[in-house]
A and B are shown apart, each in its own frame.
Chain A
Amino acid sequence: MTIPVQERLHDFAATLLERRGALVEWPASDRAGTAMLPPEVAAAVGTAEDVVSLACDAPGGGLAVNLAGDFLEWSGRLLGGLPQIGAFRVRDLYLKRKELHEGIERTFTWLNAKVKLREARETTIEYHTWWFHAAINSEDRWESCFSLSLNAASGVAVEIPDPLDLWELQANPHPSAESPASYSWAVAAARRRVLRLAGAFCDRMDGRLQRDRKRLRDYYQALVRESEKKKARGHAPPDPEKIEATKRAVGLELRRKLAELDERYAMEAVLRPVVLVRTKTPVLAVDVSVFRKQAHKMHTVYWNPLVKQFDPFRCSVCGESTFAVAFSNEEVEPLCQGCNSIRRPSS
């Protein structure tokens, strides 16, 4: 195990145990330390002792803090008692109304509708930053962790800085008790992200599968060809019935092996939301009246002070973010260029 990993494990284990009420005596420079555990923590880590030794390399009878063994298992159990949702607010961001309308005109392209911008107003909305652990199980395994942030009012994915690193961050004294409506949007965006991140993995699996399929087909087809061949000079030709039976058996076996192969390579992607941070942020909102043919609908454009730019629109079909916005005919819902071009022939 490398030194940086050991340091990370040390910090993580010590902090986690202290969070759960343990008294930890383990200086970073020491190879091993000790911890006095409350009963529920002792039970979670699977020890009957209330004072245990800790070390990154396997200690004699103590708790081993390493990537193997059961460390990740028991720390997972201990983490179960800690909240996974953060509620924060960002204060005192300087909001500048000047030239907002010009900014909108410069940033957005209205592809098929007329828009009328209303007066800018100050408001607060939440940005939801979701951290996901994603894994794809196939013949091999792919894993990643990533975060994505959404404007919880519009559902659009935005690129904001890691909220946990914001110096303006404060605890939100009145956190919302409602379950976050952004979850379904986040999952849809996470799926797109996974497919992008795992592209090379999918290509590799494709290549392997094709090679394996070819090997199996060549093998079983050769078996069939062999069954049709004369054994040796002077021998009677092979019995057609036997050949048919062999072909059937080989065909069945090939199908079974190919099915097994497909089963082995089938990909199951699992998205696990790990942490949600709700950041209540003061923003400038500009209501936009959108006129599409005979229909009309009000949408809102948000000026995001965290990145000092406007949040894009969220395509109502594919969920992608877009600054070049088209609108559907009756519902006047935003569409990205791609979805708009697919819809156009039928509209």
Chain B
Amino acid sequence: MTAHIVEAAAISSPSHPGEEAPLRTAAGIPISFRALPPPEGSSTGDVGPLRLHLEYWQLRLLRDFDQLLCLEGLTGVEHLPHQIETVRKVLRRFRGRVLLADEVGLGKTIEACLLLREYLLRRLAQRVLILVPTALVSQWREELATKFHLDFSTPPRTGVADGPDYWRNNDRVLTSMAFAKSRKRVEAVTEVPWDLVIVDEAHHCKNRATQNWRLVNALKRRHLFLLSATPVQNNLLELYNLLTLLEPGHLKTESDFKRQYVRRGNPRDPRNRERLRSLLGEVMVRNTRSLVQMDLPARYAQTILAQPQGEEAALYGLLDDYLRRRRAPLAEVGGVHPVNANGHEEETAADDEDDAVFSPPEKTALEPLGRRQLSSLLLAAGSHAGALAQSLENVAGNDPAARPLIDRARRIDRTAKDEHFLQLLRQGRGEKMLVFATFRRTLEHLQQLLRKEGVAFATYSGTESEREKDAAVAAFREQLPVMLCSETGGEGRNLQFANTLVNFDLPWNPMRIEQRVGRIHRIGQTRDVFIFNLCTAGSLEARILALLDEKIRMFELVVGEVGSILGNLQGGEEFESLVLDLWLRSHDDRDLEQSFDSLGQSLLSAQEEYLRTKRLDEALFGEEFQ
């Protein structure tokens, strides 16, 4: 027994198995012992099974920090050296309490997820709470599930999540900060202990007077990862507040901190910069582009508006009328979550705020359509007539009023977008082209279209086996000029040999658009990247593109910046949910245009805020903060 462990009680008679002895370390840490019951069952005279048991437990011990476990068995995650270095650093030096402050686009989320996986695999953590801005909940959930094979529970928007049982019974919870801090459930969230809490876009906790800061401070947690590319937005005290969440007292008291590190009259300008950086280095990791030498070539985007004619134009007009007739009041549809193109249920928008109510629809014999159905139909309409026909059949097949629409959609063979797409192919300059489409029907249509035109292509979608996918990528790389991709197609694959991307349709979530672009605009890409966005004039997609492209120049931003801008949007709603709300609230095109203008202004403000903060952080931390 080590001399540093003392028995608090006098030596007693031999203990019974499982009994806890009152032991303490020299610093008074209590040590309780628990012995599990002895093995039961029949015995064997064969050493083989016994050796297997022993080897099993030895293998479980092969888990030292030099050999990261999180990297094994990962699919679709392209981890970079600086990310691995960060994981090692946090495990060895930071003891699970760290501010991950990499510049935008360097993969803080990947780092946090790798760390999370490492902690889970090593059993350093079992109960995990992830708090993210509402706009990023679905992206986090999807990445955790598809890339890291981690299932997280998202609390239901019912009374169930207001009590402690939900939070106690679920070991892995992913939710928005807005949801968790709500007055009716904050007590339940903070009452139960967590092994690890991850806070994305942690600069939202910069102010101690806010509910965000108070929530994180009140959480019973063992480890804490704060993620923010811009930890200082206006004032150095914001950084102080964040680090106080991690290690209270690390930067002494607020007035000590101000006295030592904040220049009077300019709360953004630090004094004793070197000392401050050294202190920050103990609780913060910041990788910069110059440090990790990660600069990508430029990317250029072009939006191609297809003007529908004749039958097609009539179809969209009739569809708009039909959907507006069949939509339910916002208050009724608010509880139904929109669904994305992969059939995954998305988060709804506001957390606790009531949605506005607008005029009720005309009475019909049929049930009004919910958010999920409406967004599905609107997305399909933006994709292709074939996809729309199928979605209408699925959603409103029993409605006689929908029948003519379905028939009309089926009759349309070539759309205006098809023509533009073919034109793009012809002008393709011999470059390899990656073509994205959300709906399976649209992909099938594109396959037929290309066959008719005699263009060879590969297809990469969820329906192919792994072997077929490998073959498709190989064929695309070696010989074929076109690869058709579904939403998740090509994730984690090296497709940088292509530098042209066509969005045949567009997801409403800008993060998804960025994910598509990220397939070819990533480390290893040496040429400029060209993005062509096809959309039908007057469609919701066209309006979204106008917002993203014209207002914030989304396609010229660095990877990851869109997320930071969206995170600054007031109201904290998911972008696609905002879009649907705008459509639901509008009565006609003019209405809708005004609403989109206003959303554009919000986006611009969010971007300005992001840029201002970015400049400040660059000045504060420099290029080579480690």
- Residue of B at shortest CB range from A197? B2
Is A278's CB under 8 angstroms from B57's CB? no
Is A183's CB under 8 angstroms from B38's CB? yes
Q: Point out the residue from A135, A187, A267 that lies within 8 Å of B17, measured CB to CB.
A: A187
Q: How far is the CA of A227 from the CA of B13 in the complex (A)?
A: 53
Given A191-B33, A206-B27, A226-B255, A66 and B50 contact (CB-CB distance below 8 Å): no
Q: How far is the CA of A278 from the CA of B384 in the complex (A)?
A: 72
Residues in A with CB closer than 8 Å to B35 are 187, 190, 270-273
Residues in B with CB closer than 8 Å to A194 are 33
Q: How far is the CA of A8 from the CA of B4 in the complex (A)?
A: 37
Interface status of B353 (Cβ within 8 A of chain A): no
Chain B 6-46 per-residue mask, 1 if CB under 8 angstroms from chain A, else 0: 00000101111110010101110111111111111111111
Is A195's CB under 8 angstroms from B14's CB? no
Cβ distance A272 to chain B, nearest Cβ, rounded Å:
5
Given A84-B41, A88-B45, A206-B25, A268 and B34 contact (CB-CB distance below 8 Å): yes
Residues in A with CB closer than 8 Å to B123 are 135, 141
Is B252's CB under 8 angstroms from A222's CB? yes
Interface status of A85 (Cβ within 8 A of chain B): yes
Residues in B with CB closer than 8 Å to A260 are 220
Cβ distance B39 to chain A, nearest Cβ, rounded Å:
4
Cβ distance B150 to chain A, nearest Cβ, rounded Å:
12
Q: Point out the residue from A200, A226, A278, A342 that lies within 8 Å of B253, measured CB to CB.
A: A226
Chain A 62-93 per-residue mask, 1 if CB under 8 angstroms from chain B, else 0: 00101111011001100100111111100000
Q: Point out the residue from B16, B53, B117, B220 that lies within 8 Å of A275, measured CB to CB.
A: B53
Chain B 307-349 per-residue mask, 1 if CB under 8 angstroms from chain A, else 0: 0000000000000000000000000000000000000000000
Interface status of B121 (Cβ within 8 A of chain A): yes
Interface status of B49 (Cβ within 8 A of chain A): yes
Is A269's CB under 8 angstroms from B53's CB? no
Residues in B with CB closer than 8 Å to A57 are 72
Q: Point out the residue from B13, B26, B38 that lies within 8 Å of A206, measured CB to CB.
A: B26
Residues in A with CB closer than 8 Å to B26 are 203, 206
- Residue of A at shortest CB range from B32? A268
Given A68-B71, A145-B57, A196 and B2 contact (CB-CB distance below 8 Å): yes
Q: How far is the CA of A10 from the CA of B37 in the complex (A)?
A: 30
Interface status of B67 (Cβ within 8 A of chain A): yes
Considering only residues 243-283 of chain A, those with a C-beta below 8 Å from chain B are 257, 260, 262-278
Interface status of A99 (Cβ within 8 A of chain B): no
Considering only residues 198-216 of chain A, those with a C-beta below 8 Å from chain B are 198-200, 202-203, 205-210, 215-216
Given A140-B95, A206-B25, A67 and B2 contact (CB-CB distance below 8 Å): no
Considering only residues 160-193 of chain A, those with a C-beta below 8 Å from chain B are 164, 169-173, 175, 179-180, 183-185, 187-188, 190-192
Residues in B with CB closer than 8 Å to A219 are 248-249, 252-253
Residues in B with CB closer than 8 Å to A187 are 15, 17-18, 35
Interface status of B122 (Cβ within 8 A of chain A): yes
Residues in A with CB closer than 8 Å to B256 are 222
Given A264-B222, A274-B53, A206 and B29 contact (CB-CB distance below 8 Å): yes
Cβ distance A85 to chain B, nearest Cβ, rounded Å:
4
Is A195's CB under 8 angstroms from B23's CB? yes
Q: Point out the residue from B13, B17, B32, B53 that lies within 8 Å of A183, measured CB to CB.
A: B17
Q: How far is the CA of A303 from the CA of B56 in the complex (A)?
A: 34
Is B53's CB under 8 angstroms from A267's CB? no
Q: Point out the residue from A15, A136, A190, A342 that lies within 8 Å of B48, measured CB to CB.
A: A15
- Residue of B at shortest CB range from A315? B14
Interface status of A337 (Cβ within 8 A of chain B): no
Is B2's CB under 8 angstroms from A164's CB? no
Q: How far is the CA of A71 from the CA of B69 in the complex (A)?
A: 12
Is B33's CB under 8 angstroms from A216's CB? no
Is B11's CB under 8 angstroms from A257's CB? no
Chain B 220-263 per-residue mask, 1 if CB under 8 angstroms from chain A, else 0: 10100000000000000000000000011110110110000000
Is A76's CB under 8 angstroms from B23's CB? no
Is A83's CB under 8 angstroms from B29's CB? no
Is B4's CB under 8 angstroms from A203's CB? yes
Q: How far is the CA of A69 from the CA of B148 in the complex (A)?
A: 9
Residues in B with CB closer than 8 Å to A202 are 2, 4-5, 25, 29, 31
Residues in B with CB closer than 8 Å to A210 are 27
Interface status of B209 (Cβ within 8 A of chain A): no
Residues in B with CB closer than 8 Å to A79 are 52-53, 56
Interface window among B58-66, B284-292, B397-405, B561-569: B58-66
Interface status of A131 (Cβ within 8 A of chain B): yes
Interface status of B55 (Cβ within 8 A of chain A): yes
Cβ distance B622 to chain A, nearest Cβ, rounded Å:
27
Is A145's CB under 8 angstroms from B58's CB? yes
Q: How far is the CA of A2 from the CA of B121 in the complex (A)?
A: 18
Residues in A with CB closer than 8 Å to B44 are 83, 85-87, 171
Given A64-B73, A131-B54, A195-B1, A267 and B29 contact (CB-CB distance below 8 Å): yes
Cβ distance B315 to chain A, nearest Cβ, rounded Å:
41
Is A267's CB under 8 angstroms from B30's CB? yes
Is A9's CB under 8 angstroms from B59's CB? yes
Is B59's CB under 8 angstroms from A12's CB? yes
Cβ distance B265 to chain A, nearest Cβ, rounded Å:
16
Interface window among B127-135, B464-472, B502-510, B589-597: B464-472
Q: How far is the CA of A139 from the CA of B94 in the complex (A)?
A: 12
Is B34's CB under 8 angstroms from A276's CB? no
Residues in B with CB closer than 8 Å to A138 are 29
Interface status of A16 (Cβ within 8 A of chain B): yes
Is A164's CB under 8 angstroms from B52's CB? no
Is B466's CB under 8 angstroms from A141's CB? no
Is B29's CB under 8 angstroms from A12's CB? no
Cβ distance B9 to chain A, nearest Cβ, rounded Å:
13
Is A67's CB under 8 angstroms from B16's CB? no
Chain A 26-43 per-residue mask, 1 if CB under 8 angstroms from chain B, else 0: 000000000000000000
Q: How far is the CA of A68 from the CA of B60 in the complex (A)?
A: 10
Is A68's CB under 8 angstroms from B73's CB? yes
Is A272's CB under 8 angstroms from B36's CB? yes
Interface status of A296 (Cβ within 8 A of chain B): no
Residues in A with CB closer than 8 Å to B249 are 215-216, 218-220
Is A274's CB under 8 angstroms from B57's CB? yes
Is B248's CB under 8 angstroms from A199's CB? no
Is A82's CB under 8 angstroms from B53's CB? yes
- Residue of A at shortest CB range from B34? A270
Is B45's CB under 8 angstroms from A8's CB? no
- Residue of A at shortest CB range from B30? A266
Q: How far is the CA of A183 from the CA of B72 in the complex (A)?
A: 38
Interface status of B425 (Cβ within 8 A of chain A): no
Q: How far is the CA of A141 from the CA of B55 in the complex (A)?
A: 21
Given A79-B53, A319-B14, A273 and B38 contact (CB-CB distance below 8 Å): yes
Is B4's CB under 8 angstroms from A199's CB? yes
Is B2's CB under 8 angstroms from A143's CB? no
Residues in A with CB closer than 8 Å to B47 are 86, 164, 169
A-B contact pairs, 18 of them (CB 8 A): A12-B59, A58-B75, A69-B73, A83-B49, A84-B49, A86-B44, A133-B60, A140-B95, A143-B61, A171-B45, A179-B38, A195-B2, A200-B2, A206-B26, A267-B29, A270-B34, A271-B35, A273-B38
Interface residues of B (CB under 8 A from A): 1-2, 4-5, 11, 13-18, 21, 23, 25-27, 29-63, 67, 69-75, 95, 117, 121-124, 149, 193, 220, 222, 247-250, 252-253, 255-256, 465-467, 470
With contacts A68-B121, A196-B1, A270-B33 known, what are 8 further pairs, Cβ within 8 A? A12-B56, A68-B70, A79-B52, A85-B42, A86-B47, A200-B2, A273-B37, A318-B11
Interface residues of A (CB under 8 A from B): 1-2, 5, 8-9, 12, 15-16, 19, 57-58, 60-61, 64, 66-69, 71-72, 75-76, 79, 82-88, 131, 133, 135-136, 138-141, 143-145, 164, 169-173, 175, 179-180, 183-185, 187-188, 190-192, 194-196, 198-200, 202-203, 205-210, 215-216, 218-220, 222-223, 226, 257, 260, 262-278, 316-319, 339, 342
